[in-house]
Amino acid sequence: ISVTGVQTCALPISPLCHWTSRPSKPDRSHPQDRDMTRPTLLDNVTHRHLRIHTERSAALGDARHSALALPAEFRHLQAHFPIVFQHVEGDLGFQPIALFGLEEGQNLFLTDTGWDATVVPMAVQRDPFMIGRAQDDTLQLHIDLDSPRVVRPDEGEVGTALFMPHG
């Protein structure tokens, strides 16, 4: 099976399937595949006024044709999206992805009014956040301050506040 930008294999989804769940090399021409451009450690004092757009739209980066599918969510995702296995560059194995369309930028589950499925994959839900590790190996929450989901100061009081006004 060949889908634009995705090399897949037709394997049944079963507990016997094995793959390496490592991200493939990003295609920086598409916002959904870009690396975080300004990852910043999230801080309740520094970012006390930060707000996030939580609605779904193409302008906010949801016009993507696929997203990583985590094994824990397969049961819910398979009822709405085809799950295929994408070859990871460098002979690192395969990773499962949920398909939303067959061409770059095509999301058949995104309408003018938002997401048109009862399930949103975790890889899509987490934007613009990511988990990172500190030097002491503790987990830390980061945010991409260049993400279209982050409310810009000139947009006013729209979106959802991340923290209480006092931090």
Q: Chain-wide mean pLDDT for the chain?
A: 80
Q: How far apart are CA 89 and CA 132, in angstroms?
A: 23
**Confidence check: pLDDT of 13 > 80:** no
Q: How far apart are CA 65 and CA 28, in angstroms?
A: 15
pLDDT at 167: 65
Q: What is the pTM of this model?
A: 0.70
pLDDT at 132: 87
Q: What is the pLDDT of residues 111-149, one digit of tens each?
A: 999 999 999 999 999 999 999 888 999 999 999 999 999
Q: What is the pLDDT of residues 30-57, one digit of tens each?
A: 444 444 478 899 999 889 889 999 999 9
